[in-house]
Amino acid sequence: MVFKRLLGSLGVGGPTVDTVLDPGPALPGGALTGQVRLRGGGADFEIESITLELVARVEAEHEEGESEGAVTFERFTVGGGFRLAEGEEHSVPFSVTLPWETPVTELYGQALGVVLGVRTELSVAGAKDKGDLDRLAVGPLPVQEAVLEALGQLGFGFRSADLEYGRIGGTGQQLPFYQEIEITPSPRYAHRVNEIEVTFLAGPAGMEVVLEADKRGGLFSAGHDALTRFTVGHHDSRDWNAEVEGWIERLMEHRAPHGSHAAYGHGHDDHHGHRHDGHRSGPGVGTAVAAGAAGLAVGVVGGMVAAEAVDEVGDFFEGEEEDEEG
């Protein structure tokens, strides 16, 4: 057990905190459970509140280029209103509900390179200190897994995943950022598209699946982006291979001049405007996972495993802790 001392305004004699998440990945829209374990410091302290923050590493584009930063996308008060005696150990169990749009960090146990964390904040005697930052693992919902599984079965491969600051117009997006899962085309579509980006926007009633293709240019035409959107239910039972293949065909049919915003499809026949109120993504983190018969995350390409992603995750958390200690 590693207790992290709360420094800053509380001083060296302040309480220490260790937040322990229950094992296994959580799910979007599901429960996140665990315990906040406190140990008293050199005096009695009034614990006014214990707050958990969900933090994500997000990419953003601006006039000066591209940058990354930490975005807090949800806060939960899980305890407080008690006195922590000198040297006393006290545990506060919690169960909170993750936002439906919480990004997926792993697939079949393979890290995708997306970085999420749970940060613990104590409010003590009118002062607030952030004392603990823990990695948050989130697995896919069944329908998300079904779509990604179908893409793998159809010969598409995983390239990278990242979080983009901004909003996708015309959708029900709630968070200030969205996840893009970038996949390489199957041999059937390799001559028509460079890559396809998949975004899941889940909600209580179902999920929007937004597909964006970076299309290759022809002899007499420039390359351009095309977008489509489809909605599915959380408990839909479909021939997912056929369904997703149909989505890809619809995506390939879309034509849009370079620099314009393409339309996306809803259901079968409806078309609406679609735009990214943010930026186009570039290459993301470098977890390279092959497509195979069992889905996107089956094999490993060229000996490249999740090491690069793990390094970046570690750098993120170390940077956060250094900022807090500085």
Considering the domain architecture, whether residues 168 and 38 belong to the same structural domain is answered as no
> How many structural domains does the chain have?
2
Whether residue 310 has pLDDT greater than 90 = no
Q: What is the spatial distance between Cα 206 and Cα 154, in angstroms, rounded to a whole number?
A: 24
Considering the domain architecture, whether residues 37 and 48 belong to the same structural domain is answered as yes
Task: List, as one string, the DSSP characters of 181-229.
Answer: EEEEPPTTTTTTEEEEEEEEEEETTEEEEEEEEEEPP-SSS--EEEEEE
Q: What is the spatial distance between Cα 26 and Cα 100, in angstroms, rounded to a whole number?
A: 11
Q: pLDDT digits over 57-113, tens only?
A: 999 877 777 888 999 999 999 999 999 999 999 999 999 999 999 999 999 889 999
Q: Is residue 312 part of a domain?
A: no
What percent of the chain stands above pLDDT 70? 70
Distances (CA, A) of 220 to 113, 193, 195, 216, 258: 38, 16, 21, 11, 13
42 SS3 class:
coil
Q: Is residue 314 part of a domain?
A: no
Average pLDDT over the chain, rounded to an integer: 77
Considering the domain architecture, whether residues 212 and 300 belong to the same structural domain is answered as yes
Considering the domain architecture, whether residues 115 and 156 belong to the same structural domain is answered as no
Q: Which structural domain, as residue segments, surrounds residue 68? A: 4-139
Considering the domain architecture, whether residues 126 and 149 belong to the same structural domain is answered as no
Q: Is residue 165 part of a domain?
A: yes
Q: Is residue 195 part of a domain?
A: yes
Considering the domain architecture, whether residues 135 and 154 belong to the same structural domain is answered as no
Considering the domain architecture, whether residues 115 and 103 belong to the same structural domain is answered as yes
Burial class (CB in 10 A: 0-12, 13-18, 19+), 50: buried
Considering the domain architecture, whether residues 48 and 111 belong to the same structural domain is answered as yes
Contact 154, 123 (CB under 8 A): no
Considering the domain architecture, whether residues 192 and 273 belong to the same structural domain is answered as yes
